[in-house]
């Protein structure tokens, strides 16, 4: 149930969403849902409140009705709803995109591979040559869902031209100590208003940022 109220607290209108399984939902195909305007005064409807309630309801229903098609009993709102249904189909079936791999341009693959695995502790996922001249070395930072790829025959970027890749760690001071102990040339930790950073580069000069987790009090301050 969606409720719209005015600034004076008065009820302006309501709408309800009925899934296919609801006892009082009319017969519909699988994957459909029905939205009903239960009460919207004509004056408010003319100002677009009915359509606004339907739109909000459609996006809420999209959470539990895959590729939902919405039907309505009120004829004068069917054109609006038909257009909305198409929009909701796009919304519900929208592409899912996950950033999984970032290419890092290097001049010496073996040297870079050694740096990332030995000095940074990245996990070697694979080192393969899919086709002649294309070597793909995938490496993943500990605990990361995103990997980097170095190799040959994949990119026209100049080795060392990448900058700003950011690794977030729970304890930046401990991580910085460990990386230095591994032989990485990493900067001192810098406190930037409660958020800590450190910086380093790979042998080709690709520049990385190490960021400590943002403390809760700093997060709250940024939201104020």
- Write down the pLDDT at residue 216: 76
Domain end marker among 92, 124, 142? 92
- Indicate if 53 and 17 belong to the same structural domain: yes
pLDDT in tens, 51-89: 666 666 665 555 554 434 444 444 444 454 445 444 444
CA separation for the pair 66, 46 (Å, rounded): 31
Distances (CA, A) of 192 to 36, 61, 88: 52, 43, 42
Q: First and final CA of the chain: distance in angstroms?
A: 32
Give pLDDT tens digits for 164-219: 999 999 999 999 999 999 999 999 999 998 899 999 999 999 999 999 988 777 66
Axis-axis angle for helices 78-92, 49-61 (nearest 10): 30
Same domain flag for 156 and 117: yes
The total number of structural domains that make up the chain = 2
Q: What totals of helices (H) and strands (E) does the chain contain, helices first? A: 6, 12
Q: How high is the mean pLDDT of the chain? A: 76
Percent of the chain clearing pLDDT 70 (strictly above)? 54
Tens of pLDDT, residues 124-143: 999 999 889 999 999 999 99
62-71 per-position pLDDT tens digit? 555 443 444 4
* Same domain, yes or no: 184 and 158: yes
CA neighbor of 20 nearest in space, from 92, 94, 70: 70
Domain check: are 108 and 151 in the same one?
Answer: yes
CA dihedral 157→159→163→166, nearest 10 degrees, is 100
End-of-domain residue from the set 39, 57, 92: 92
The whole domain housing 51 covers 2-92
Q: Both 32 and 115 in a single domain?
A: no
Give the CATH number for residue 163.
3.10.180.10
* Triad 219, 221, 222: Cα angle to 5°: 65
pLDDT for the residue numbered 210: 96
pLDDT above 90: residue 16? no
């Amino acid at each position: 149930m969606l409720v719209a109220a005015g600034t004076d607290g008065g009820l302006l209108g309501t709408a309800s969403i009925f899934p296919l399984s609801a006892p009082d939902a009319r017969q519909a195909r699988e994957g459909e849902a029905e939205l009903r305007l239960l009460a919207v005064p004509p004056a408010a409807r003319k100002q677009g409140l009915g359509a606004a309630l339907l739109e909000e309801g459609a996006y809420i229903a999209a959470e539990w009705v895959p590729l939902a098609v919405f039907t309505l009993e009120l004829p004068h709102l069917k054109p609006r709803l038909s257009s909305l249904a198409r929009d909701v189909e796009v919304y519900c079936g929208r592409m899912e995109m996950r950033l999984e791999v970032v290419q890092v341009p290097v001049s010496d693959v073996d040297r870079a591979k050694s740096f990332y695995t030995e000095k940074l502790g990245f996990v070697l996922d694979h080192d393969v040559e899919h086709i002649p001249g294309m070597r793909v070395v995938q490496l993943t930072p500990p605990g990361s869902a995103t990997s980097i790829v170095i190799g040959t025959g994949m990119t026209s970027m100049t080795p060392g031209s990448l900058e700003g890749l950011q690794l977030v760690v729970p304890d930046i001071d401990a991580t910085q100590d460990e990386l230095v102990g591994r032989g990485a040339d990493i900067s001192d930790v810098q406190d930037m208003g409660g958020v800590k950073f450190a910086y380093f580069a790979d042998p080709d000069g690709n520049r990385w940022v190490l960021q400590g987790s943002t403390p809760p009090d700093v997060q709250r301050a940024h939201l104020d």
